[in-house]
Each structure stands twice: as structure tokens, then as C-alpha cells.
Amino acid sequence: MRERRIGMRLQVGPVDRVRDMQAGMRDRLLMSVRYGGPAAGVQDMDHPFVDVPTPVLCGEPRLESWIASDPVTRFRRGDLAWAEDGQALFGCRSHRIGDDMEQDALTACRDLLSLLDERGYPCLQRIWNYVPGINEDQQGVERYKRFNIGRARGFEERFGAQAERHYSASSAVGAAGDHLIVCFAAAREMGTHLENPRQMSAYHYPAAYGPHSPTFARGTVTPEAWGRAFFLSGTASVVGHRTTHVGDPLGQLDEALANIDVMLQRSSTAPCDRGGRVRLDLLKIYIRHPGHYPAIRDALAARLDPSTPSIYLLADICRANLLLEIEGVRL
């Protein structure tokens, strides 16, 4: 009989409600991320747990938990926590930043990629970056640009000329506090990293966006053994390499959704319900200005299957003229 792999699950919602749902399955928890709580970093818990102190716009703090189909093995090493289930590795790292974001990003990327190598899960599927003061200058260069230089060096150190093949789905948004927080998911086999023909590959962006381009793919379909989940990268109002609808949040929302439509089609995960609305297992919407939240929420509600769990977060976006960014997961 062929082995059938039941995929992993994702639970999302207000913290207490998700905790209640988890009774009896705590030994299967791969990772939890709490949004809107204290700036407390990686917590001492029975499983990898990190606080992302990004304010929640849609109410009380939210919990996002990844649950395997069988009991998992957990590890903790300094500011790194991770869990493995034999096919997937989930983890988080939270590290106080110094005065050089390039160095901070390099160390984060190096730690993470060498851990994946050491544990035998060398294939990155998704990385979530929370970067303090992402749009602030540091010695005359925006922190996000310095972050990109360090991250690119980390990939080059590990993969050399092959680095581009390993860029996975990603997001990089601002965060409160003074810790660079990185959450990640990896597999034993390569995922399929996807690009969007409406957008220039970020790793080919012209030098105007910084001395080293961002090193990520627009989306990643995980390998068969994982059950072919789809990770949608942070998706914004970028066409080609340019920001469109500058100053217009609803225009940016439409453009981001047009980019998302293309990615859902390319990932060939049944993308929409019968009304042509987006259905995913998680959608996270980062909004720069709290005043834009009600209009964005209402406009998105019309385009979203109501069964899609969503979290609205207040965060700076990596380009100063981007007002929102949307990421998603389809299991």
C-alpha cells in the first residue's frame, strides 16, 4: 500500500480560542506565532513560539499555529527554536539588532541556512522577516536596503553561484521593538519557486532599489512529501519593478489582488470559490496607516471567500511608497 501523507494544519484566531482548539494535540505543534502581544521574542514553551509585536488592526492578539499530522521533535538553541516532523522543519529566531542591519541580516541568514543544512532540511520553502525600523536610515542607507545586502551575502555564502535557485517565498515588513525576527519553513526536497510575469523578479530589480536586490521568489509550492502547500510571498502594488497607485490605498489593493490572482493560477492550487473570490487557509494583510484599515477591509471582504482566516496587521512596508502588502498560505 502506498504511504499516504496527511498534510499539516494551520490554526488561526484570537489567542485563547486557538489555545482551546489545541488541547490534545500539543505534541503535534510545529510552531506558533503570536501577533500583537509583548515584544518578548522567542518564548520558553513546549514548542517553538515567537512573539511578533506587530499591532493587530482587527482586534485582540492573534495566534497562528502550524500543526503536523504526527508528534514532532522540538529543539531550542539560544535564540533559535525549531521543530521537525520528518518532512518539514519550522522555526523562529529573534535577535536584538546592533547598529549594522547588513551584519544583522547576514548573521540571521547564516544561522538559519546552516541549521537547515545541519538538520537535513536544506530546502527553504518560506521565510518571514520582521525588520525593526525598516524604512529608517542607518548611516545614510535605508535599513531594508542594508538588510537586502546582508541577506544576499548569506545566500551566496551557502549556495554560491546557485543561490538564485534557493530563493523561496518571503516577506519583509517592519516591526516594533529592537529584535530582528525571522520565522521559517523548510523541507528535505526542493520546492517549486514561482515568479509572476506581471512583476520583474525581485532579484533582478534595478540598482535604484538598493545595492543588492531582494533575494526572494514570488511564491513557493512545497514538495509532494509536504502535501504541496502554497506559500504566497508578500505581494504589493508593484508592476514590473515600479510601485503603482502611489498614495491610493484601494488602487494598491486592486493591483496587489491582480498580482495574487496570477500567483494562485500559477500555483495551480484551486484558487477561487464559485464567485471568483480568493480562498486561502491564511491571509495576512499588512497596512502602513491605521486610517486605511476600514476601507481596505471592506474592499477586500468583497473579494475574499468568508471562510478564509485573515489577520490585519499594522506595519511599515519595505518600500516607503507602498501602503499595504498581502501574503497567504494554501494548504
Tell me the catalytic residues.
325
Among positions 33-62, residues that touch ligand 3EB (CB under 6 A) are none
Distance spanning both ends of the chain, measured CA to CA: 24
Nearer to ligand 3EB, 129 or 310 (CB): 129
Among positions 168, 171, 252, 308, the unique one binding ligand 3EB when judged by CB under 6 A: 171
Quote the distance between the C-alpha of residue 276 and its chain's center: 25
Helix (H, G, I), strand (E, B) or coil at 222: coil
H or E, element range at 328: strand 324-330
Distance separating alpha carbons of residues 278 and 129, to the nearest angstrom: 24
Among positions 318, 323, 324, 329, the unique one binding ligand 3EB when judged by CB under 6 A: 318
Task: Tell me phi and psi for residue 8, to 5 degrees.
Answer: -85, 165
Listed in order, strand segments (DSSP E) in 68-212 are 73-77, 80-84, 88-96, 123-132, 137-138, 141-142, 169-175, 179-187, 192-194
Residue 86 grid coordinates: 520528518
Judged by CB under 6 A, does residue 182 bind ligand 3EB? no
Task: Tell me phi and psi for residue 115, to 5 degrees.
Answer: -60, -45
Shortest gap between Cβ of 269 and ligand 3EB (angstroms)?
19
Residue 259 grid coordinates: 498580482
Judged by CB under 6 A, does residue 150 bind ligand 3EB? no
CB 324 within 8 A of CB 236: yes
Judged by CB under 6 A, does residue 134 bind ligand 3EB? no
Among positions 92, 172, 187, 283, the unique one binding ligand 3EB when judged by CB under 6 A: 172
Judged by CB under 6 A, does residue 194 bind ligand 3EB? no
Stretch that binds ligand 3EB, among 2-10, 70-78, 170-178, 279-287 (CB under 6 A): 170-178
Among positions 231-260, residues that touch ligand 3EB (CB under 6 A) are 233-234, 236, 238
Size of the site for ligand 3EB (CB under 6 A): 12
Shortest gap between Cβ of 106 and ligand 3EB (angstroms)?
15
Judged by CB under 6 A, does residue 263 bind ligand 3EB? no
Among positions 32, 87, 168, 170, the unique one binding ligand 3EB when judged by CB under 6 A: 170
